[in-house]
Homo-oligomer: A and B are copies of this chain.
Amino acid sequence: MDKKYVSLKDLAEELNVSVSTVSRALKDHPDISFEMRQRVKELAEMRHYSPNPLAMGLLKQETRMIGVIIPDIITHFYASIIAGIESVARENGYFVLISSSNESTQKEIESVENLLKARVEGFIVCLSKQTTSYDHFKGLLKRNIPLVFFDRTCLENEVSCVTVDNREASRKVVHHFYQQGYRRVAFISGPDYLNISKERIAGYYDGLNDCNLQIDPELLVKCDLSTDSARAAMNRLLSLSNRPDAVYGINDFVVFAAMKEIRKHNLEVPNDIGLVGFTDEFHATVVTPELTSIVHPTFQIGESAARLFIDQTERGRMPQMVILKTELKVRESSVLKGQPR
């Protein structure tokens, strides 16, 4: 099989000039005569020349590759963020190498190592839900390798992060429930060490306080974000002697599980129990009743993360924090059909 790509050398030979002349001509170096530039460019065009990124990378010590580590790629939330990252990356001439941690710290560490071996220039990461030790990321910082976290973050003081106004969002949810006439608002949260859990819990409390609702520890339950544990959490709520009349879930996935559990108990959404989710995945509009949810600006999260990354890599910017606004999209699952109680 013959060579697949033409090199500068090939062009040079064909034109009977040196490689360096060709190289310069293609970059419009002023030293090169106009005529020569024309000739070179013409031939390059004709032969479909494209510079070999490997050679460039080797020379410049840069690969134009960004390593992205996410818990998984099949959740709409992450897929959509990746789309955002990709779009900014592409605009700036970067490629994206994706690696899934499958929510396992072990695989997350491996992902870092593998991507490093591939010589990515830096990382954009959403922590696995298991991860509580951050040594593998501290190592990157020590080596001055650019790093950006989104959604689930850590080391916030030293690393660029992109999140949403989790606390404010949660507060809005409680307000909304209150306005609809719900009075016993429960929250199904995630693991305590995750920033998103902490922030959303804080906002939940804020909201309860704002509305003069009593904080009842029984109404704050936790799950590990899996379907099973979400169901279990919902069951705990349903078995309370004084069960909630509204449930807010840390993400839509959890809420879908809760919804099924509620139905199993022959209770009805929204009249017996109001329901609000977080993320607003596509499915939110597919379920019946349609799910009220905090809209996560997923694509923009990706875009912001990529932009922070590039700022850091190319312009040496200091780490910064970007907090995006969310919005409560009210649908059927939290709107009382009868008169508000």
Q: Which residues of A contact B (CB under 8 A)?
A: 1, 3-5, 50-55, 57-58, 61, 63, 72-76, 79-80, 82-83, 86, 90, 95-100, 114, 116-119, 143-145, 256, 263, 282-283, 286-288
Contacts and interface: CB of A to CB of B under 8 A. Distances in A.
Given A50-B116, A73-B82, A282-B283, 8 more contacts: A72-B83, A74-B76, A74-B83, A76-B79, A96-B97, A98-B98, A256-B286, A286-B286
Q: Is the interface of A mostly helix, strand, loop or mixed?
A: mixed
Contacts of A73: 73, 79, 82-83, 86
A98 B282 CA distance: 22
A144 B1 contact: yes
Contacts of A96: 97-98
A98 B90 CA distance: 11
B83 A100 contact: yes
B145 A4 contact: yes
A96 B99 CA distance: 9
Contacts of A288: 263, 287-288
Contacts of A256: 286
A51 B117 CA distance: 7
Find the residue from A54, A86, A114, A263 having the highest chain B CB count within 10 A: A54
Given A73-B79, A95-B97, A287-B286, A119 B52 contact: yes
A118 B1 contact: no
Contact of A58 (B4, B52, B72): B52
A309 to B, nearest CB: 16
